[in-house]
């Protein structure tokens, strides 16, 4: 199994475990995430892991991938200026001097290079 595949699977497993823990743990009802990353709890009566936001800056749209590398499969494309929900960040393939990638959480779990996503508010926590 390649390092890229292992990294992707670990990132998704961590994200899923964090979401499960946040929705199942009454001890976290006070909004303290405990991961040191900050962020806000989702509304609507349920408890959710923190979600950060970013704005896509890639003029031709941002290719979102199934792993934090340029060579991985494209899952979908987000248009320029779109607001995207970010779950966490990780190190991945360097894209024009930026090695950070964000795991987006809007329907599919997909990775986008942080080079082309400007944070809105706080920077995402580490995966």
Q: Within its chain, how far is the Cα of 58 from the centroid?
A: 17
Mean pLDDT by runs of 10 across the 127 residues of the chain is: 50 45 34 38 52 95 97 96 97 97 91 98 95
Looking at residue 33, its pLDDT comes to 36
Tell me whether residue 43 is exposed, middle or buried, using C-beta atoms within 10 angstroms of its C-beta: 0 to 12, 13 to 18, 19 or more. exposed
Q: Which of 63, 38, 69 is nearest to 116 (CA)?
A: 63
Domains annotated on the chain, with CATH: 3-120 (2.30.30.40)
Looking at residue 47, its pLDDT comes to 54
Provide the 8-state DSSP code for 16.
H
Looking at residue 101, its pLDDT comes to 98
Q: Which of 49, 25, 27 is nearest to 38 (CA)?
A: 49
pLDDT, tens digit, 9 for 90 and up, residues 23-58: 333 333 333 333 334 444 344 445 566 779 999 999
**How many other C-beta atoms can be found within 10 angstroms of the C-beta atom of residue 126?**
13
Beta-ladder partners of 100: 91
């Amino acid at each position: 199994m390649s390092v890229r595949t292992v990294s992707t699977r670990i990132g998704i497993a961590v994200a899923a475990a964090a979401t499960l823990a946040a929705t199942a743990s009454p001890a976290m009802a006070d909004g303290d995430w405990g991961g040191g990353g900050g962020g806000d709890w989702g509304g609507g009566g349920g408890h959710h892991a923190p979600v950060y936001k970013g704005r896509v800056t890639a003029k031709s749209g941002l290719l979102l991938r199934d792993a934090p590398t340029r060579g991985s499969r494209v899952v979908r494309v987000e248009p320029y200026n779109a607001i995207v929900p970010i779950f966490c960040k990780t190190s991945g393939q360097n894209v024009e001097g930026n090695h950070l990638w964000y795991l987006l959480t809007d329907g599919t779990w997909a990775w986008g290079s942080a080079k082309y996503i400007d944070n809105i508010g706080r920077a995402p926590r580490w995966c």
